[in-house]
Structure 1
Amino acid sequence: MRRLLHGTRNNRSSDNNGGFFFFCYRYFKWILWFSISFYFFSSFLNNPTSTSIISRTTVYRTKLASRALIEQSFVNSSHGVLFKGMKVYVYDLPSKYNADWLSTNQRCGSHLFASEVAIHRALLRSDVVRTLDPWLADFFFVPVYVSCNFSAVNGFPAIGHARPLIAAAVDHVSTQLPFWNRSRGADHVFVASHDFGSCFHTLEDVAIADGVPEFLRNSIVLQTFGVTHKHPCQEVENVVIPPYIPPESVRATLEKFPMTGRRDIFSFFRGKMELHPKNVSGRFYSKRVRTELWRKYGNDRRFYLRRQRFAGYQSEIARSKFCLCPLGWAPWSPRLVESVALGCVPVIIADGIRLPFPSAVPWAEISLTVAENDVDSLGDILEHVAATNLTSIQRNLWDPSVRKSLLFDVPILEGDATWQVLKALAQMLDRSHKKPSDKNVFSTSENEK
């Protein structure tokens, strides 16, 4: 129609005798305008709530009107109901806080600490909760990649830059926009995807001594670290998240080794197992648990234990019935996610560990927990389970929704790990410092009813 009208204009302007066409054009345009206006006006009058809408729209915030109307529609969708209409604003920080680290070390987008990258990317592409207007936000995501330089190829951790980097980011957002100071950071979200999370250190005694940085104590931290007992590194509002495993690697492995395929390995572990556990720091890795595993079961045919790296080790997990998940420096391990994702029953050997997303992942029904002091009895424990309820555990474990809950997809998939993070944040909406006038699109004072 638009092309037709423009064409009519062009003909009129180019035709010296175009009076008749010009008259038809104007008459047609007037009829069209009148018809459309009459239709909307009659529809409006037939709406019983039209009068209240008129009075309410008079107090609507002009600056935010168009965006608020669009975003408010999500409240009525299934997603909006699930997240209670929650909105998240993602700070656009200078690249020195995130992108520069990724360009320097490509591994930080795919290694076990990469949830900080994946969550950032997923939120940027979300049309469910992300808002581009900070005044409409309930939470503010601060994308600082502190773990990009955490684990170099040589295995030596480097995270001394973490505290000053985050401190600089906080200084930046608090001076550029008013939202940090408005809430003292209570509605701001960070990711700490390394060993002891919000304490930002790789060794527990140093992490405990340092504690959570003062400038983060009011904020929300998404961290892989979590324990059931009191610990300085979780003395902050926190959500336990899984370590990062690339979803594409899991899917590629499952294409070659289906979940219900042959599992000819009884018990599997590949990773660091020191014969002499005292390392250069003078500390004992894995609290000697991995050393005891090697000493006790290294020559046991039932146990497939390997100390060397192997790029295709996921194929070994997919062939295994039980996958050992002993603690490392911290209680959590990427093997927790890999074993669940590939259908191998995780055997968790980490006293007091707090596991991610318990409302979505029925850990008691899909895994085994063995006390660190009971490693010597591990063989008998696994034999008993294999003879009694292994099939039942596997049936629960192979539910696709369980696997999805622990994998970070980009863009967000319903039920995936970022989705579970958003569900957790939706339970914290009382921390939102959005003004009452922002929370309610329309004013409902007695004088305006």
Structure 2
Amino acid sequence: MIKHGLARARASIRKAALTTRNLSSIVNYNNNDDDYVPNGVVYHNPVAFYQSYLEMERRFKVYVYKEGEVPITHYGPCKDIYTIEGRFISEMEHGANKRFRTSDPHRAHVYFLPFSVVWMVKYLYKPLTYDLTPLKQFVDDYVRVVSTKYPFWNRTSGADHFMLACHDWGPHASQGNPQLYNTSIRVLCNANTSEGFNPQKDVSLPEIHLYGGNISPKLLSPPPFNDPRPYLAFFAGGLHGPIRPLLFQHWKGRDDMIKVYEYLPKELDYYSFMLKSKFCLCPSGYEVASPRIVEAIYAECVPVILSDHYVLPFSDVLRWEAFSIQVDLSEIPQLKEVLTTVTDDKYRRLKENLRAVRRHFVLNQPAKRFDVFHMILHSIWLRRLNMRIG
């Protein structure tokens, strides 16, 4: 029954993508969340995405394993840098919208392993030892419990199971079980292809830093579209990883138009700089992901991606080149030249497209259609369908 349903979903998506590439010809565009229809150049194929999303709403069922106890399972951080990890677990466990969750594991398309790597680090890791064995052992024990108690893991070697982690050590924790690492869907902020992230089966999770659990009021309503932004580019962050030293070497304190700080002085405000800058520099640190990318989207400050081996979130669906700029690391010394060659027309289009994709990166309580929670689910849905729609 499940296989037939998935086959019908694939067929309908393929048919829709071949029928038309112009959604405005078949539906009325409405910007309300309940009636939103994806359209425009920010999507690889808006028709295929829309049909896939509708099929997900119609069919997709997730079973959440009940095994484990709070806080390491069924709970996670819901504020600060790892917000997304706890909020996703909370939405799956306690969210008002029960559309996607099933209490019958035989009806499920995928199975969620609801442990929090952040809380593993807090409660199991011994500081300064850099010994991740306790994390790996917990993961292996959890898989052993569910694979012994239920038949679902063993029938697919875990291919229809997923974990979600935003902590930098999420990929390392997943190494605790070889099948989880190699076969299951790993939803990770640290989506680094040089460290085993496989975009064919794994999902890139956007890192969202919400102080106190909420978007900063300054980012809720960015300045009017045509307000001048006095700075060309902005970055403030710690000196770590291989990319930032190069950025600091060439641009820290060297140009009044490109504001690069290691640590922002206390009298200056981080988000105010974002809102006054045309471009926001997003270099990787020790790990590839950065919350600056989502903050830049909120601030309508065009993200400049400075990263190797990073699979950007929702790139199955979204054309990142339509609302961000990828700069090769070799071009960091010429960064000002690269950014000033962006024409006014192109910059306007990039900024307009930022507004179009913002809804896909917002955490709502309760979750709303096409928001970040649903985009994560849709990425998992695509892996379960085993198809590309780009």
TM-score band, normalised by shorter chain: 0.7 to 0.9
Q: 1:79 and 1:239, CA in 2 relative to 1: closer, same or farther beyond 3 A?
A: closer
Structure 1 distance, partners of 2:189, 2:287, is 9
- Given that residues 268 and 320 in structure 1 are in contact (C-alpha distance below 8 angstroms), is that contact kept between their aligned partners in structure 2? yes
Amino acid at match of 1:370: V
For residues 274-293 of structure 1, the C-alpha deviation after alignment (integer angstroms, 9 at most, x for no partner) is xxxxxxxxxxx331x32222
1:413 Cα deviation from its structure 2 partner: 1.3
1:156-175 alignment, distance < 5 Å: 160=132, 161-175=134-148
1:72-87 alignment, distance < 5 Å: 81-87=55-61
- Given that residues 122 and 409 in structure 1 are in contact (C-alpha distance below 8 angstroms), is that contact kept between their aligned partners in structure 2? no
The normalised TM-score by structure 1 is 0.64
RMSD: 3.3
Q: What does residue 19 of structure 1 align with?
A: none
The normalised TM-score by structure 2 is 0.73
Structure 1 distance, partners of 2:361, 2:66, is 27
Structure 2 distance, partners of 1:113, 1:186, is 26
The equivalent position to 1:91 in structure 2, one of 65, 68, 81, is: 65
The equivalent position to 1:332 in structure 2, one of 289, 295, 301, is: 289
Structure 2 distance, partners of 1:215, 1:428, is 16
Q: 1:361 and 1:286, CA in 2 relative to 1: closer, same or farther beyond 3 A?
A: same
Structure 2 distance, partners of 1:338, 1:92, is 34
Q: 1:384 and 1:226, CA in 2 relative to 1: closer, same or farther beyond 3 A?
A: same
Identity %: 26
Structure 1 distance, partners of 2:190, 2:63, is 25
Structure 1 distance, partners of 2:378, 2:272, is 32
Q: Does structure 1 residue 136 correspond to structure 2 residue 101?
A: no
Q: Does structure 1 residue 191 correspond to structure 2 residue 164?
A: yes
The runs of 5 or more residues in structure 2 that have no matched partner are 1-50
Q: What does residue 113 of structure 1 align with?
A: 82
Q: What does residue 209 of structure 2 align with?
A: 245
Q: 1:163 and 1:407, CA in 2 relative to 1: closer, same or farther beyond 3 A?
A: farther
Q: 1:294 and 1:328, CA in 2 relative to 1: closer, same or farther beyond 3 A?
A: same
Structure 2 distance, partners of 1:320, 1:250, is 19
The equivalent position to 2:382 in structure 1, one of 396, 416, 427, is: 427
| Greater Cα offset, 324-333 or 384-393 | 384-393
Structure 2 distance, partners of 1:307, 1:348, is 18
The equivalent position to 1:294 in structure 2, one of 248, 253, 259, is: 248
Bigger radius of gyration: 1
Q: Does structure 1 residue 384 correspond to structure 2 residue 341?
A: yes
Q: 1:416 and 1:341, CA in 2 relative to 1: closer, same or farther beyond 3 A?
A: same
Structure 2 distance, partners of 1:353, 1:396, is 21
Structure 2 distance, partners of 1:151, 1:378, is 39
Structure 1 distance, partners of 2:52, 2:330, is 46
1:150 Cα deviation from its structure 2 partner: 4.9
1:266 Cα deviation from its structure 2 partner: 2.1
1:364 Cα deviation from its structure 2 partner: 0.4
Structure 1 distance, partners of 2:61, 2:204, is 21
Structure 1 distance, partners of 2:326, 2:101, is 38
Amino acid at match of 1:190: M
